[in-house]
Structures are given as structure tokens and as C-alpha cells.
Structure 1
Amino acid sequence: MRKFCFIWFVGMFIFGIHKASAQNGTITISGKVIEETGGNPIEFATVLVGNPTDQKPIAGTTTLEDGTFTLETNASDFYIEVSFIGFTTNRIDNAQVVNARIDLGTISLAEDTQQLKEVVVEGEISQTVFKLDKRVFNVGADLSSTGASALEVLNNVPSVNVNIEGQVSLRGSQGVQMLINGKPSVIANEQGNALGTLTADMIERIEVITNPSAKYDAEGTSGIINIVLKKEEKKGLNGSVTLNTGVPNNHSLGLSLNRRTEKFNLFSQLGFGRRTFPSDDESENRNLVENTAINSSGQSDKNETFFNLILGTDYHINEYNVLTLSGNFAYEWEKENSDAVFSTFDSGNSITDAFDRRELTTATNPKYSYELQYKKDFEGNEDQSLLISATGNLFAKDQSSDFTNTTTIGNNEDMQQQTRTDFSQADYIFKLDYTHPWAEKYTIETGSQYQINDVKNDFAISDFDGIGFVENPDLTSVFEWTQKVLGIYVTAAYEGDKWGLKLGGRFEETDVGTLLQNTNESNDQRYANFFPSGHTSYKVNDNLSLQAGYSKRIFRPRLWDLNPFFNIRNNFNIRTGNPNLQPEFTDSYEITSIYTLGKVSMNLGVFYRHTVDVVERVVVFEDNVSISRPENIGINNTTGIEFNAKYIPTNWLSFTNDFNLRHFVRKGSFEGTSFDFKGDQWSTRLTSKIKLPSDIDIELMGNYRSGFRTFQQEITENLFMDFGARKKILKGKAILNLSIRDVFASRIRESVTNQPDFYLRNFSQRGRFVTFGISFGFGKGEAMEFSGQKRF
């Protein structure tokens, strides 16, 4: 409410200053505004120079953090008014001018409790509108005047949800690409907390893209969220310090800083901590021909100590040119213990032998990333822009594992094994984007992108021969994977008051190669594809809008889909890659509507996706060992409905529901066997947010995911609930935060493969996570939540 009044007065000043009459002399006015009770400086108090004849503003400013202000006026007859929401207004007439200066000294404002009771916030209300290939959420005074963080603003966007730990999801999916001003940024990195340094009054709008046009990568993604900042970004220091502790181990300390000046925006983040991820695992391999089985049951805990540092700056060369340079360095130390019991059963269901398999794995993971970006705006047209960027991501893993088999039943000998992994990955992206609007309603976008992926994985297994460990050449591989993708696009759009149309095309050439060094097997592929897109929107009225879109997408196999190496944690359930795997292509059609009725906003979408060369894992069973390998099998046609509704009956209660229903038809064959089938999958999520007295917020989130079929498997249903609570103290500058993930420890991962000759079951559960934290925010915004919890 206080910031709303600040915005209102500044708006009145901008409107009125053009009508004020200029005078020859310039008078400088200065002073300091404080609270009458306590003497604390008042930040953002409005100082207004007004015309006594018509009471219109002539000039104005707001106070700084220390309550001081300075402004100039050319008027000869004026009054000075100092005000701030919740305080009585102080008007000064006939101020004395000495040497073209007015020094008002210290001005005290008294609290006005009656005014606080009667004030009504009026102004632009945040709303969502369709813009061809995206939905645009314009941030109004109802949010921008609250001092909320960017995460809280996102939580008001239809179809978007931010849980109490700060995880962003779109239509129930967390695979969201976050952009700042249309480009990737470490500020929006989901592994960090830098989004928390942005406050609502810095944000102009939020764009939501569920079916990306040809401007964006053809590689599949669940959606894009672009946060567009105001050009007149708030100057000053924003930041947050967070401390967390939890069960199982989840201890972290984080610091976020953001400093904005006239020329620079400096942002940084520092975090370190330790966390543990326990897991209970079960597996069953049953040979239905011989009626024998091998079962395993065990526990593991992965301990991770991490360090993370982000540094970056935006340099505003001038009003139309901005240069951004940022970097991120992270380092992780991993230690994992695993203990599982393997039992073999004969046809009479009697145990014939058993052994205890213990594992100790250690690893170090350094990570580096950087980005260099140049953005140019053009005078006279705020929508015309040129963006050039270069980003790089480097990751390495040095891992070793020790395995020991101790026989507990039977006559099998004890066994020892070791594995080592030397892994490195480098990703580089170079982009150029140009937007040119003309004739007000027409826009052309064009640009290009070049992406390089370079990966090498050196993996070896060694067996103990009684004296030392000897490397097994049959289980050793050095696998290299390189991929280069060149993309060029152009789009053209018309957007009128009611109706719009956007058409585009993207050409991508892919050059990919794999090499298995120990056998000298190579597979090089080069292919070119055209990806068209089309979007249209129509505004029926202020409460109802429609949007339709089409795009062609691609899924390119990644390293773990291609690499034929496998992990030997469970020698009876092996997952391998397929270096001959081909990409899959999807034609995506979508019709979406947005409807607002009072305090309810609803989104209803219908989509159809046709996918060819579907990548699906195929399981083969030999000697009681299951081997899973990805293959290209047939086509998949998916028809679905996505519904989202947000209901805010009062300012202390809100409900959000996401519902997704998919019906899929699979057609394909593998090695002469038909695998045609049909299936359904649906999921729903209900989130309730409750604001209690004493600045206490409660969040309850229930999730249900139905069971569904894949090529060979059946995935069981899943029902779980998360809980969150937070308490604001020190006028919102500090937050106490409690989160419980999987309250009833009911979130599981279970799959069943039931074939004529064999039966497989795999089960995994991580259990309940409880985290308590405290965060202190300073500068312009509130404290930000930073759970320090790994995304999984």
C-alpha cells in the first residue's frame, strides 16, 4: 500500500509536469524526512512541488534509504508537500529561498492511524491477456505496490505455481525454461536463489509460452516463462541471508546480493551446505519358464557437500545498450553408501543362495558456467531490439566405487569389484536475435543459434584376483559423444486489437557423432530438418480469449541414451544406451482458452501430439538378468486436456488446481513382435494457500498421478502431499520457514514388467524430508526462501 501511493504520486507528477509553466530561475530544494516517533528515516516518502492555483504537481521525487531528498523547480510560486502512506501530510507554504536554495532541514511525519483504516488501494489490477504465441501477465498496482518477490508474482500467474520452497512449475510440470528479458540468465537459474532479489515493482510483465514458436529451440521443453523487467529498475541494494537445517541432513547457508546503480546492476550469490538423500530399493527378477527368481532389498544414502558461487553484472552503456557478463562456479563432494541383500529362489520358492552386496562410492563434481550478452534497443521504438549472446557450461565427474559381495547362504565365493568413471562435458551456445516491428501492428523476428555439445566418458570395471584388482577389458569403455546444431529462424506476425496471427519457420542442421574407443565403433549422423510454427489468438471480450498454435518439435538422444556402458550396482538389472538411436519428431497442436469470472481465472486447453520414431526402453531377459536399452519403435498419438483454475475468494485464502488427462495410442513393432496398445494417464494437483493472523502463511499441496502403461511396463499410481508454513517477522524483513515434503511418506517409484517369459518389479522410495530455515532480507524487498534442497 505504501509503494502504491509512491507509484501513484510519481504518475501524477509525470502527468502534470508537462503542463507546468517553466520559469527562468532554478531553485534546489533539499531536506530529510523522519518518523515523529522514534526518529527513523522514511524511505520512499513523496516530496511534491505543487501549483497553489490549480493544485497540480510541478515537480516531485521520493526520499532515499536515509530519508534525504533533493529536487529542483523553475516555478516562482509553489508549495511543498511531504507525504507517506499511513502518516499525516506535511504542507509547507512560502518556504524561504536563500541563494536559489531551500533547506527544509528535518521534517517529521506523524502516524495517521485513521488514514490507515480508511485507505482503499485503487489502480491497475494484474491481468492475463493472449499475445499470439504466448500469454502475458501484466503486473498491476495490486502486486507491484506490495514489495513482493518475483516468486510471489509468479504464483499469481494462471497455470504457474511456486511452492513454498521456490520451485516453479507450469501446468504441473517443473521442466520450465526461465528467461529474463528474453534471454537465459543466472538470475533465473533454478539451482539458485537470485530470482528472490527481484521485487514486484521491478517487473513489467511475465510471458508464458506453452507451445514455443520457431524463434525458440526445436528441442522439446514443457514451457518457457519470460520475466520482463521495467527499464526504470529500482536502484539500490537487495539481498537475503538464509540458514537452513533439516532431517534427513539438509543444512545450508546462502547469501544473495543485488546492487543496482545508474550504470550497473551487480548480482551475486554464495551458498554452501550438506544434504543427504536416503532411498529404500527393492527389485524382483522372475523367470516364468523355469519358475526361479532373484530378489534384492536394500538401502542407500547419498551424502553431498556443495559450494556454489554466482557473480555477474549488467552494464548499461547508455539508454539503449546493455552488456551482461556473469559466471557460476560450483563444486560438489559426494559419498554414497549402499547395502543390499540378494536372494536366489528355486522353483519350489526355497532360497538356494544369498549374498550381501555393499558399495561405497565417492565423487567430486566441479561445474563452471558463464554468459556474455549484448542487447541493443533502438531509439523511437521500444520493441525493436538486437541480442547477441554466448554461454558456456562445463561439468566434470571423477568417481570411484568399491563393491564387496559376502556370501551368507550357499557355496558361492566372496567377490570384490571396483569401478572408476572419468567424465567431462562441455556445452556452448552462441545466439543472435533481431526483432523489427513496423506499422505498429506488424513484427518480424529473425536470428540464428549454434550449439556445441562435447562429452567424454571413461568407464572401467576391475575384479579382485586374490592379489590385486585387474581391469576387465570386456567391461571397460571410453565413449565420446559430440553434437553440433546450427539453427536459423524467421517469424512474421500481425497483431490487431482483437485478432492476431504469427507464422514462422526454423531450419536446423545437426551433426552428431559417437565413438566407442575400446572397439573403435563409430556412428556419425548428419541431418537437416525444417520446423514450422503457427499461432493465432482472438479476444472475444475482456473476460474471454482464445489461442491456437502448432509447432514441430524434436527430441535428440542424449549421452545416457547413446552410451552402451552400464552401472553394476545391481548386476541383475542393467541399463545401457544405444549409439544407433535416432531422434524422435513431434507435431504439436494446441487450442487454449482463458476465462476470468470475478475471483476465478480458468484455463482450458486441448492438445494433440503426433510423434514418430518414438524412443522407448525395451527390456530383454537372459539368465535371470534384465537388460534395458532404448530403441526407436513406431509412432505415438496423444490427445489431452489440460485444465487450470485459480480461485481467490478472500485475501487470506486461495486455491489452485491443475488437471491433466492424456489418451495415447501406440503403434509399432520390435523384432517382429507387435506392441500396439492404448492407454490413459491423468494427474491432478490441488494447492491451498492460507494466510493466518500474525503474518503466518500455510500451504498444502496434494498430488495424484494415475498409473499408466509404457511399451512394456506398467507404472503404478502415486499419491502424496507436501506441506509448508512460514512466519514473517520484523515487518517482513525476516522469514521463518518450515517445509515437509511427502508428509505421509507415500511417494514411491514402482514399475512392473509382465511378459510371457519373465516378470520384473522395481520399487524405490525416498521418504519424508523436513526442513526448517530462517531468512533475512535487506534492501528493497522481503526475505527470500532458499531451501538448499536438491531438485528431484
Structure 2
Amino acid sequence: MKLIYFILLIALLIVPKTLLAQSNSILVKGVVVESEYNTPVEFATVIIKDKQTKKNITGTTTGTDGSFEIETNAANLYIEVSFIGFASTIIREFNTINGSIDLGTIQLSKDNQTVDEVTVRAEKSRTEFKLDKRVFNVGKDISSTGMSALEVLTNVPSVNVNIEGDISLRGSTGVQILINGKPSVIASEGSNALGTITAEMIDKIEVITNPSAKYDAEGTSGIINIVIKKEERKGLNGSMSVNAGVPNNHSVGISLNRRTEKFNLFSQFGFGHRELPRDKKSINTDNNTNTTVFSEGTEYRNETFYNVILGTDYHINKYNILTLSGNYAYEVEKQPSLIEYQIVEKDVETALWYRDEDTDATNPKWRYELQYKKDFRDKKDHQLLFSALGNFFGKDQSSYFKNTIEYGDVDNGDQQTRTDFKEAKHTFNLDYTNPFSKEFTLEAGSQFVLQDVSNDYEVLDLDGDEWVPDPGQTNVFEYDQKVLGVYSTAAYEGAKWGVKLGLRLEHTNLNTLLINTNERNQQNYSNLFPTLHSSLKLSSAFSLQAGYSRRIYRPRLWDLNPFFNIRNTYNVRVGNPDLKPEFTDSYEITSIYVFNKASLNLGVYYRYTTDAVERVSVFQDNIIVTKPMNIGTNRATGVEINGKYSPQKWLTFTGDFNYNYFKKEGEFNETIVDFNADQWSSRIVSKIKLPAEFEVELTGIFRSDRRTTQFEYAAQSYANFGLRKKLFKGKTVVNLSVRDVFESRISEGKASEPEYYLYNQTQSGRFITFGVSYGFGDGEAMEYSGRRR
């Protein structure tokens, strides 16, 4: 808490200075567009110049929507707007009204003398800050070469992905993962957590810690939105990437785009193979009997994957666009493992055996989306949007476990499992936006989500020469959830300040059924989710933002399903059919400072969660069974800092720091929970531009030790390295990526109680990937995520 007060004090000392600096200033604003298609020009240069000396006074670049704002104290001025490949526009005549110059829409025309000679690729800053979200541009991250989407998330500020693949945001789980702003089975826990999406397919990742009411209320810690690339450049464009790595990590990706006056055809094709070894070690000690079970070995997850995205935008006319797209992915999994087990009783080794696993699975996934967008003639951004989205994911898996006993009396025979999993999810959205004026905008809409899941799981034991089903571990679990949501938001955004109010109503109907035992769980509830966002621009160098939202975390399929995988019979995870949803009220205040060579984003946040969900472990007969439970309340207070500093044109540092203090109160299994703890994480990235168009990127990541209700987890520190070389005027890019350079990313957790001691360790090791990307036609190599102008 002292750290929070110290940072707030610094902010309060800075504010008066910025307030004094803005007196007698003039605000210049406008929007820059291309004259041919009337689309926004991003990163266009806007310069304020002195009429007499012709020298530059100040300047800026346009945002993603082509808009800009500049403050100046100069009175005798003119404005120049330029972008390479376009003729510059000079504006000398304008009106100043109430200290503001509104230039309206500024059109840039192509410069025919240079447009065919110069290839320009706009590099977006690594992280951008907007009113209600932060945007991480993947193309700027050299070390992401060949990564899956899950691995890319490890480089995103505020996001933590542990070795097991669990995602948390600001130290809290309950994250909603979206693809292109909508839910998808490709991002669900049961579908190998984004394994078929590679970094080359991703445009950007948006981190939304306090979503507005327009978004689904799911996800108590916020939303992570993965935006897939879709180009709309005129003509035929394309790019191709090839990656190879150690351990085996090979992939090929192809992107094609064809734009005509009426149609925009887009496609992506990808396939590859990767191996994900994990060294695992565990210790289970029963202090009452002085008996310990040791297990150690390597688990593999080897995947061959294929991914196809096809779609088209049909521009019916200037005001109506119809989009149809489809995504099909297919995975073939093999999970071999060999684990050694030992039993030691009173310091004497009494048993030794090996458990050999052979698992095969196929995972088909498909996704479709039909979207209709209508722009109204009366004003810009007045639109109606309808979308229908369908998802399907299946898993056909079989496993064989063979136990080889070296010596000792071990009650462990050979086993088989069979899994037949099917998930269908359909989402329908209707959104209406009406900007009644330049300052005031109204939004309204609705969403209906239907999710239907069936998980048929069977365990068979070898009895002599016959496989016999185990009725205690065999069942069919059915999960059916429907969520209806309606929302409305109203926003005012002036030159200096803005506010956005929203309210969302959601009704949830959840039914689960264990068919063999006829156990049912029904939940039917309605909830209101208010949101509030505001911003205040005190000067061109300093602004404040504040936000509030109420969120929900609904139990997922794997949280509710009481049946478990028997991969390790001494460390078992199961679901809890009686689990209730948790609710979170989230508050935050953020300040953004922009200096000459640096920028700083400083935020303070507070989250209050009821019916907080946490995984709780029960120990008996040297077996630990872990399942999620509602333990009570959780109060978390935190500070987050993100910064960028460029002391030289060839050198840039970016970093982020997150600290939070939390207090948990409640009970489980008649045990009182009342404890507080803190945790923090930091990340620093240095990017160095070398001669001959070489670039080097070094990343260091540290995460402090942390505590849950029962477990304590050790601190982690590791480093990533990236090297990039551009060839043929940027048409070809060569990348080298080394992740976990020193093999120091080790996950260690332990629980020490009077009755037992538990220890778990997991390590994945070093990954090296080499990649080549080539852009053809008017396309560009898969290094950048911005459009070419």
C-alpha cells in the first residue's frame, strides 16, 4: 500500500505543472483520409509551422481512425499534412473558435511521381493506449516468431501464462478470450488453448481490463481479444512464412488477399508440427505415516495441425457490406510419456515402477461468421451491425497406460481411457451505433449465446486378458448453457474530456447432467452489469482515465465436470458440479504522460470479488485431489506501470510493472480462510536497430513468488532473444527467436501442512525458432500488422 501512495503522490505533484502549461493554448484537430476510398490514413504526419520562418513548431501523427489533435501556443501558423506516397496538403486558411481550430476531413491524394517507387510500411508502436483498452501489436515482437497464440500472450503486458497454459490478467484468472471480438471454441480451454493460431496470423492483441457494457460481461479480470489479420489493399496481395525450430517446431503460413471494387477476398492457410516436452516432478508425503510417493519423468504433447481461413467482403454499395468467413482447423495429437514412481516408507524404498502413456487424439474445429454492416447516409459512424457466429469443436481421444513394476506391492494395473467430446456454440449479435453529434454517441444492442457440450468419458481396467469398464470413473457429462444479453451505452467526448455510461442485462440458464447417475445441476439467474468510463485531457502531454465495470465468471465445462484424467493417479484434478459463478466489481484510474523521448502509463486498480473461485486440494492416502470451490471474498488492490523510452533512434526500451495486494476471506470444508499476500511481476524489452537493417530484441521477465489458499509458488525469471534482418527492401524478413534462453523458467509449488507435504515442479526448456517471411504482389512480409499506404 505504501508503494501505491508514493506513486499517487508523484502524480499529484506533476498535475499542477501540466495545468499551468496549457494556458493560452490553441487546439488543432481533424481527420486525415485517402481521397480514393475515403479510408483513414494512419500515421500521417501533421506539422504546425511558423508562417514567417517556415520552421516546425510542433507535430504529431494520426491515430488508427485518421484523427489527430495538437496543442500549440503559436498564433502565426499554418498546417502541413503529409504521408510518403501521397501529395502533401498545406492549410493556410482556417477559423479559430473558442481556442479551437477544427480542420474537419483532410483528403490526401496519391503522388503519382513517387507512389510506384516507394514502399512504405508503418510500424505501429509496440503497445498503444486507448480509452478502454491497450493494444499490443504482435508484428513488432521479434521473439514471437513461430509461436502459437498462447505463447504470444506471454509477451503481452499484464498477461501471465503459466507452463500449464493457464491464463491470468493482473494476477487474476477468470479471463474471457475472444477472437475478433467474439467468443470462439478455438480459444476455449478444451481445444488446446489457441494451438492452431500462429503469431504470423495475428494482427494485434487487445487487453481490456474494464470492458464497456457493449462487451459480454464474462471474465471477472477482463477480456483478451485476439484480432486476426485481414487485409483490404487494392489488387492481389500475399505473404508467406516458413518456420523451423528445436525442439521440433515447424510451420508454414500463406496469406492471400484480392481486392476489387465490389469484393475483398481474404484467406490464410497454415500447417505445421510442434513438440512440447515438459519435465515434471512431484512429491507427496503423508506426515502421519511417514510415507512419500516420488514421481519424475517427461510428458510430451506432439501436435500436427492444419488451419484454413476463407472469407469475402461484398461491398453491395457505399453503405452496405456483407461478410462471410469460415475457419477450419484440424489437430492430430500424440502424448507419449514415461513417469517413474517410488514409494518410500520410513526412509526405506519399498516400491518402484514405471507408468508409460500412449495417447492419440484428433481435434476437428470449425467456425463460420455471417456479418452485415449498414452505414447510414446522414453521418459518419452511424451504423447497424448484425452477425451470426457458429463454432464446433470435437475430440476423439484414446489413451493406454502400462505399468511396469520393478519391485514392491503396487496396486496399479494397466488402464485405458476413451474420450468422445463435442462442443457447439452459436452467438448472435445486433449492434446499433448513432453519433448524434461530434461529441455525443449512443449505442444499443443484444447478444444471444447458445452452448451445448457432451463429454463421453470411459476408464477401463485390465482384468486378466479382458478390459473391464470402471463404473466409478465412467460417465457422460452434458452441459447446456444459454445467455441472453441486452445493453445500451451513451458517450460524450469533447476536446478535453469525455464520459461513457453503459448498462448491460444478462440472463443465464445453465443445465448439467451426469447421464449414468442422473445427477443434475440447474442454475437460472439474471444480473445487471453497469459500466463507467471517463477521460480528461489536461494537456497534450498529460491525460487521465477512469473506469468501472461489474463482471461475472461463469463456471466452465471443466470446472463443473466431476470426472478426471488418470494421467497421474497421485495428482488428480476434478470439477465441481455445485460451483457457483463469481462476481467482480472492478475500478481503475490511469494517467498517461507523453514526454519528448518517453511515455509513461501509470494506473491504480481495485477489484472486489464475491463467491471467489479457487482450486482447493484434499490429501488422502498419498493422493492429492484438486477441484475448484467458492471460498468467499477476494479484495485486490494494485498498481500498474507501462513505459517507453527511446534515448536514440536506434535504441528503444519498453517495460511494464504490476503489483497487487490481495486479502481473501471465507471458508471451505469447515476451514476458515483469512489471509493476505502480495505479488508482482515486471518485464523489460530493449530493441536495438543495427546497421544493414538488422534488429535485436532482448526481453527479461520476472514474476515474484505468490501464494494461494494452500500453495506457495516460487519466483520465476527468464529471458527471450530475437534477431531480425530485412532483405529486398523489406519484402523478405528473416527472424531468429530463442525463448527461455537460460532454461530458467521453472514452475515450483509446495504446500506444507501438519498432515502432509506436497511439491510440484514443471519445466519446458529452451525453444529456438528460425523463420523466413516473404511478401509478394503489393503484400508485405509477415513482420508488420499495419496497412501499407
TM-score, normalised to structure 1, is 0.78
Correspondence 1:288 to 2:287: yes
Q: Give distance in 1, aligned partners of 2:343 and 2:475.
A: 30
Q: Give distance in 2, aligned partners of 1:701 and 1:233.
A: 33
Q: Give distance in 1, aligned partners of 2:564 and 2:184.
A: 35
Amino acid at match of 1:447: G
Q: 1:320 Cα shift?
A: 1.0
The aligned residue for residue 159 of structure 2 is 173
The aligned residue for residue 310 of structure 2 is 311
Which residues in structure 2 correspond to 1:704-719 (within 5 Å)? 704-719=702-717
Amino acid at match of 2:564: F
Task: Note closer, same or farther for the CA distance 1:411–1:770 as it changes in structure 2 (3 Å cut).
Answer: same
Q: Give distance in 1, aligned partners of 2:705 and 2:713.
A: 5
**Aligned 8 A contact 1:483 1:513 in 2:** yes
**Aligned 8 A contact 1:173 1:222 in 2:** no
The aligned residue for residue 4 of structure 2 is none
Between the aligned residues of both structures, percent identity stands at 54
Q: 1:641 Cα shift?
A: 0.3
The aligned residue for residue 391 of structure 1 is 389
Which residues in structure 2 correspond to 1:610-621 (within 5 Å)? 610-621=608-619
Correspondence 1:756 to 2:742: no
Q: Give distance in 1, aligned partners of 2:465 and 2:641.
A: 64
Q: 1:208 Cα shift?
A: 6.7
The aligned residue for residue 627 of structure 2 is 629
**Aligned 8 A contact 2:232 2:257 in 1:** no
**Aligned 8 A contact 1:733 1:777 in 2:** yes
**Aligned 8 A contact 2:320 2:372 in 1:** yes
The aligned residue for residue 346 of structure 1 is 345
Which residues in structure 2 correspond to 1:22-101 (within 5 Å)? 82-83=113-114
Secondary structure, aligned partner of 2:382: strand
Amino acid at match of 2:302: N
Which residues in structure 2 correspond to 1:314-713 (within 5 Å)? 314-347=313-346, 349-412=347-410, 415-713=413-711
Q: Give distance in 2, aligned partners of 1:658 and 1:126.
A: 15
Q: 1:124 Cα shift?
A: 14
Which residues in structure 2 correspond to 1:733-772 (within 5 Å)? 733-772=731-770
Amino acid at match of 1:598: N
Q: 1:350 Cα shift?
A: 1.1
Q: 1:782 Cα shift?
A: 2.7
**Aligned 8 A contact 2:138 2:202 in 1:** no
Task: Note closer, same or farther for the CA distance 1:529–1:185 as it changes in structure 2 (3 Å cut).
Answer: closer
The aligned residue for residue 234 of structure 2 is 235
Q: 1:210 Cα shift?
A: 3.2
Q: Give distance in 2, aligned partners of 1:244 and 1:709.
A: 38
Which digits, 9 at most, give the CA deviation of each residue in 1:64-120, with x for residues without a partner? xxxxxxxxxxxxxxxxxx456989xxxxxxxxxxxxxxxxxxxxxxxxxxxx9xxxx
**Aligned 8 A contact 1:193 1:256 in 2:** no
**Aligned 8 A contact 2:450 2:482 in 1:** yes
Q: Give distance in 2, aligned partners of 1:650 and 1:351.
A: 62
**Aligned 8 A contact 1:704 1:720 in 2:** yes
Secondary structure, aligned partner of 1:386: strand
**Aligned 8 A contact 1:130 1:547 in 2:** no
Task: Note closer, same or farther for the CA distance 1:538–1:633 as it changes in structure 2 (3 Å cut).
Answer: same
Question: Relative CO higher for 1 or 2, CA cutoff 8 Å, sep ≥ 6?
Answer: 2
**Aligned 8 A contact 1:356 1:407 in 2:** yes
Task: Note closer, same or farther for the CA distance 1:10–1:340 as it changes in structure 2 (3 Å cut).
Answer: closer
**Aligned 8 A contact 1:587 1:610 in 2:** yes
Secondary structure, aligned partner of 1:634: strand
Secondary structure, aligned partner of 2:624: strand
Amino acid at match of 2:459: I
Amino acid at match of 2:718: F
Amino acid at match of 1:173: V
Q: Give distance in 2, aligned partners of 1:777 and 1:125.
A: 18
Q: Give distance in 1, aligned partners of 2:250 and 2:566.
A: 31
Which digits, 9 at most, give the CA deviation of each residue in 1:426-467, with x for residues without a partner? 111100110112133211111000011111111111111112
Task: Note closer, same or farther for the CA distance 1:130–1:378 as it changes in structure 2 (3 Å cut).
Answer: farther
Which digits, 9 at most, give the CA deviation of each residue in 1:665-717, with x for residues without a partner? 01111232212100010000011111111111111111101111011111111
Q: 1:662 Cα shift?
A: 0.6
Task: Note closer, same or farther for the CA distance 1:259–1:781 as it changes in structure 2 (3 Å cut).
Answer: same
Q: Give distance in 2, aligned partners of 1:639 and 1:562.
A: 29
Task: Note closer, same or farther for the CA distance 1:319–1:207 as it changes in structure 2 (3 Å cut).
Answer: farther
Secondary structure, aligned partner of 1:213: coil
Secondary structure, aligned partner of 2:381: strand
Task: Note closer, same or farther for the CA distance 1:124–1:9 as it changes in structure 2 (3 Å cut).
Answer: farther
The aligned residue for residue 31 of structure 1 is none
**Aligned 8 A contact 2:146 2:771 in 1:** no
Amino acid at match of 1:340: I
Amino acid at match of 1:426: A
Q: 1:567 Cα shift?
A: 1.0
Q: 1:633 Cα shift?
A: 0.6
Number of residues of Structure 1 aligned to a counterpart in Structure 2:
664
Q: 1:649 Cα shift?
A: 2.1
Secondary structure, aligned partner of 2:692: coil
Tell which deviates more after alignment, 714-723 or 414-423: 414-423
**Aligned 8 A contact 1:130 1:546 in 2:** no
Which digits, 9 at most, give the CA deviation of each residue in 1:366-399, with x for residues without a partner? 1111111111111131121111001111110110
Q: Which runs of 5+ in 2 are unaligned?
A: 1-31, 42-83, 89-106, 161-166, 168-175, 188-193, 785-789
**Aligned 8 A contact 1:197 1:781 in 2:** no
Task: Note closer, same or farther for the CA distance 1:479–1:130 as it changes in structure 2 (3 Å cut).
Answer: closer
Amino acid at match of 1:433: D
Q: Give distance in 1, aligned partners of 2:159 and 2:709.
A: 22
Q: Give distance in 1, aligned partners of 2:529 and 2:571.
A: 38
Q: Give distance in 2, aligned partners of 1:218 and 1:503.
A: 15
**Aligned 8 A contact 1:407 1:413 in 2:** no
Which digits, 9 at most, give the CA deviation of each residue in 1:546-570, with x for residues without a partner? 0111100000110110000011111
**Aligned 8 A contact 2:143 2:737 in 1:** no
Q: Give distance in 2, aligned partners of 1:288 and 1:325.
A: 61
Which digits, 9 at most, give the CA deviation of each residue in 1:596-641, with x for residues without a partner? 0111011000000000001111111111111111110110000000
Task: Note closer, same or farther for the CA distance 1:209–1:693 as it changes in structure 2 (3 Å cut).
Answer: same
RMSD: 3.5
The aligned residue for residue 216 of structure 1 is 215
Task: Note closer, same or farther for the CA distance 1:164–1:194 as it changes in structure 2 (3 Å cut).
Answer: closer
Amino acid at match of 1:594: I
Q: 1:740 Cα shift?
A: 0.9
**Aligned 8 A contact 2:196 2:305 in 1:** no
Q: Give distance in 1, aligned partners of 2:610 and 2:656.
A: 28
Q: Give distance in 2, aligned partners of 1:600 and 1:559.
A: 45
Task: Note closer, same or farther for the CA distance 1:265–1:192 as it changes in structure 2 (3 Å cut).
Answer: farther
